[in-house]
């Protein structure tokens, strides 16, 4: 029972990341009809927004009176601890608190950055491929993903960069004790709980935006019938550009908050990309609720499949579970869990 609860919890945070990326993918596919293979790269860039802000905040100088840390022969490496500029400007307590909270602060930093990147991507490249076949779109966006990846690698290196969560959220919650189990049976890190709550918030915001605003209504109308909306005199292209920016932003924020879970590196986007596509297909192409549902479903199943007891029974199941589920669902429900008729079927 406790192992069961534990893996459901585990699946929730993994599912949150899948759901957020798949949500953005589906938004872009549903509005613009573009299969965006660069979406994983947007997730990665989001994580690097957190890294960048952390680097900016920890910029510092060496106090003049400090001694060098290590000397080998005639050469000395590094110096004693640096004083960061924020500590120097705001005092030590406030300064170190700002550094400590760099990941949540990075959300504010990432929103304009991701919006801008989204608009540049859409206006600069992707709009030229609206009328081209999906294969062309996949090639060009995949190429773009590789370019973005290499740019990040050039500036940040190939090694993962630790981006810790604020001190208040390190450590873990003993869930088991709350539920009457022995201590240490169900332990769950605080930050992953934060991630789950954050993901739910973003998902609710996106749905609310589409459901309850005039802008959202126009976009939904455009998704259903782009031509008619255009004939009514509405500049749907402009709105779709904004939707692309919003989708980029969702992926970026998913990345920012993911940075403390696993140290970001330049290829983390690719690691999520393929899985996210499977999530979109399982959920049903173009269906936003489907993407979210499939994200959590596959996250939880993946967690169960990596339990030692399960692997003992079916060796290797942890590596194929997601694809296995995808095959079964596509065989039984060819349009995915919540796919609508007519999407990608022409």
Output phi, psi for 263, to 5 deg.
-50, 125
CB of 38 to another protein, least distance (A): 19
Rounded to whole angstroms, how far apart are CA atoms 179 and 177? 5
222 with 31: CB under 8 angstroms?
A: yes
Residue among 248, 308, 279 nearest 125 (CA): 248
- With CB under 8 A as the contact rule, the residue among 171, 201, 208, 230 that binds another protein is 171
| Residues from 261 through 280 that contact another protein (CB under 8 A) | 261-263, 265, 267-268, 271
Nearer to another protein, 7 or 287 (CB): 7
Residue 70 CB, nearest approach to another protein (Å): 6
Answer whether 164's CB lies under 8 Å from 145's CB: no
Q: Rounded to an integer, what distance in angstroms lies between the CA atom of residue 240 and that of residue 221?
A: 11
**CB of 32: closest distance to another protein in angstroms?**
29
Closest distance to another protein from the beta carbon of 153 (Å):
7
Is residue 7 involved in binding another protein (CB under 8 A)? yes
Does 100 engage in binding with another protein (CB under 8 A)? no
- Residue 15 token pair: 């599912």
Q: Which of 158, 231, 313, 331 is the binder for another protein (CB under 8 A)?
A: 158
216 binds another protein (CB under 8 A): no
Tokens read off for 229: 């909306």
Please state, in angstroms and rounded to a whole number, the distance separating the CA atoms of residues 256 and 249. 10
Binding-residue total with another protein (CB under 8 A): 55
Name the minimum Å distance from CB 54 to another protein: 11
Q: Which of 63, 81, 92, 108 binds another protein (CB under 8 A)?
A: 81
Instruction: Determine if 162 is a binding residue for another protein (CB under 8 A).
Output: yes
Selected range binding another protein among 27-35, 37-45, 180-188, 287-295, rule: CB under 8 A: 180-188
Residue recorded with tokens 């081209």: 132
The H or E element spanning position 9 is helix 2-32
b/e code 116-152 from CB counts within 10 Å (16+ = b)? ebbeebbeeebbebeeeeeeebbebbbebbeebbeeb
Task: Supply the minimum distance, in Å, between the C-beta of residue 338 and another protein.
Answer: 26
Among 1, 64, 65, 75, binds another protein (CB under 8 A): 75
Give the contacts of 13 (CB within 8 A, at least 6 positions apart).
Answer: 192, 193, 195, 196, 261, 299
Stretch that binds another protein, among 87-95, 97-105, 183-191, 338-346 (CB under 8 A): 183-191
Which residue from 69, 168, 205, 314 is in contact with another protein, where contact means CB under 8 A?
A: 69
d(CA 243, CA 235): 13
Instruction: Using CB under 8 A, list all residues that contact another protein.
Output: 2-3, 6-7, 9-11, 13-14, 69-70, 72-75, 77-81, 153, 157-162, 164, 170-172, 174, 184-185, 187-189, 191-192, 261-263, 265, 267-268, 271, 302-304, 306-308, 311, 318-319
């Amino acid at each position: 029972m406790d192992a069961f609860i534990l893996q459901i919890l585990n699946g929730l945070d993994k599912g949150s990341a899948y759901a957020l990326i798949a949500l953005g993918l589906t938004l872009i596919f549903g509005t613009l009809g573009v299969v965006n293979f660069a979406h994983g790269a947007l997730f990665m860039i989001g994580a690097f927004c957190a890294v960048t802000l952390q680097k900016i905040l920890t910029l510092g100088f060496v106090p003049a009176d400090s001694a060098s840390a290590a000397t080998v022969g005639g050469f000395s490496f590094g110096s004693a601890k640096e004083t960061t500029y924020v500590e120097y400007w705001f005092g030590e307590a406030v300064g170190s608190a700002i550094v400590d909270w760099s990941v949540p602060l990075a959300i504010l930093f990432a929103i304009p950055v991701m919006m801008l990147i989204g608009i540049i991507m859409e206006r600069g490249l992707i709009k030229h491929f609206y009328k081209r076949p999906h294969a062309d779109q996949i090639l060009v966006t995949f190429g773009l993903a590789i370019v973005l990846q290499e740019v990040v690698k050039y500036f940040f290196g190939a090694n993962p960069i630790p981006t810790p969560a604020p001190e208040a959220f390190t450590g873990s919650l003993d869930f088991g004790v709350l539920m009457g189990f022995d201590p240490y049976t169900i332990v769950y890190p605080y930050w992953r709980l934060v991630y789950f709550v954050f993901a739910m918030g973003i998902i609710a915001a996106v749905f609310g935006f589409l459901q309850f605003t005039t802008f959202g209504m126009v976009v939904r109308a455009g998704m259903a019938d782009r031509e008619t909306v255009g004939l009514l005199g509405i500049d749907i292209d402009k709105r779709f550009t904004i939707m692309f920016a919003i989708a980029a932003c969702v992926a970026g924020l998913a990345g920012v908050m993911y940075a403390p879970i696993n140290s970001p590196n330049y290829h983390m986007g690719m690691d999520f990309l393929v899985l996210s596509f499977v999530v979109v297909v399982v959920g049903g192409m173009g269906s936003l609720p489907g993407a979210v549902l499939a994200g959590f479903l596959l996250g939880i199943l993946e967690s169960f499949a990596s339990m030692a007891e399960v692997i003992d029974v079916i060796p290797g199941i942890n590596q194929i579970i997601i694809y296995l589920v995808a095959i079964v669902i596509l065989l039984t429900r060819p349009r995915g869990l919540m796919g609508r008729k007519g999407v990608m079927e022409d």
